[in-house]
Structure 1
């Protein structure tokens, strides 16, 4: 990573970053040699040094055909905060991004209800949505849950502004702050890099 001072490696900070994204872009290996990328709603959890991302999709379609041939995927989560008329700490924008590589399992609720239910219930994570509880439905929805398992060593994250604590993760409202042209103090990050 060229700007190593922007790298985020702490799983707790990555967890907080994942809470602010609105969707995930999933890159699937296409038949023509080009990636096939689709945006999807998601839910997630981090456990046992792994990131598990849950998505949902219909039981037919091009995406499903590709995943059955090759379940390897690349995930991209990002959010961008632009403030072109209000420079802050010598920056005109801020961003958060997480990239992860993993393998997607396709879960049918009729075959693995427990995993399907868990994934379905985690979908509320995306956009703080309210979803109708599965128990209140008359039948399992005609969809699959995709579970992407990513080892944390295959997860990279970045932020334009330095992140040290979970309180640093939300975007700042720079328009309501006092003018500040001093660059961020990253001496501690530079010192840690030397170790």
Structure 2
């Protein structure tokens, strides 16, 4: 059975179960899509995500050119056969649109802690000198929806 999710609290909870965030940037004729690890901000009124990148590179250039991004993340739980001889799967997913922008250097520690916590390394003593050579960005989602699709008797999609 499928369920569309729009509640921010539930969407935020879903994000905690996703390993990878796919970010789509505008790049000439085709989007440029990058898989990233990420952190989840504490803002209760909107969804804020954190990533970090080297200071040089294609992604940094694209962010400067156009801060509008799309995001997508999912967890696939299982494949299963349906009675009509097709195959489906159980999953949770999120898609969204938002603005990506660099955060102030003073906010780096908080953002890195959210990234490390999400990745399961909340007590990891990361290299702060290395992080100082990176940009840390926040993505503020202005539109986000999720979907849960689970195996059931009345699965229609």
Q: TM-score range by the shorter chain?
A: 0.7 to 0.9
Q: Higher helix fraction: Structure 1 or Structure 2?
A: 1
Matches within 5 A, 1:152-191: 154-161=143-150, 182-183=153-154
Cα offset, 1:138, TM superposition: 5.4
- 1:192 corresponds to which residue? none
The alpha-carbon distance between structure 1 residues 35 and 182, as it changes in their structure 2 partners (threshold 3 A), is: closer
Matches within 5 A, 1:129-168: 129-130=121-122, 132-133=124-125, 137=128, 140-151=131-142, 154-161=143-150
Q: Higher strand fraction: Structure 1 or Structure 2?
A: 2
- 1:47 corresponds to which residue? 43
- 2:4 corresponds to which residue? 7
Contact 1:44 1:52 (C-alpha < 8 Å) held by counterparts: yes
Q: What runs of 5+ residues in structure 1 fail to find an aligned partner?
A: 162-173, 175-180, 185-195
* Cα distance in 1 for residues equivalent to 2:17 and 2:148: 13
CA RMSD of aligned residues (A): 2.8
* Cα distance in 2 for residues equivalent to 1:51 and 1:141: 25
Matches within 5 A, 1:37-186: 37-84=33-80, 92-107=88-103, 112-130=104-122, 132-133=124-125, 137=128, 140-151=131-142, 154-161=143-150, 182-183=153-154
- 2:21 corresponds to which residue? 24
Q: What runs of 5+ residues in structure 2 fail to find an aligned partner?
A: none
Deviations 1:21-69 (A, max 9, x none): 0010000000x22100000110012524211100011010011111101
* Structure with more contact order per residue of length (Cα contacts < 8 Å, sep ≥ 6): 2
Aligned length, in residue pairs = 153
Deviations 1:146-169 (A, max 9, x none): 111113xx01110103xxxxxxxx
* Cα distance in 1 for residues equivalent to 2:77 and 2:124: 31
Contact 1:73 1:101 (C-alpha < 8 Å) held by counterparts: yes
TM-score of the two chains, using structure 1 as the length reference:
0.68
* Cα distance in 2 for residues equivalent to 1:141 and 1:6: 42
Considering only CA atoms, is the larger Rg found in Structure 1 or Structure 2? 1
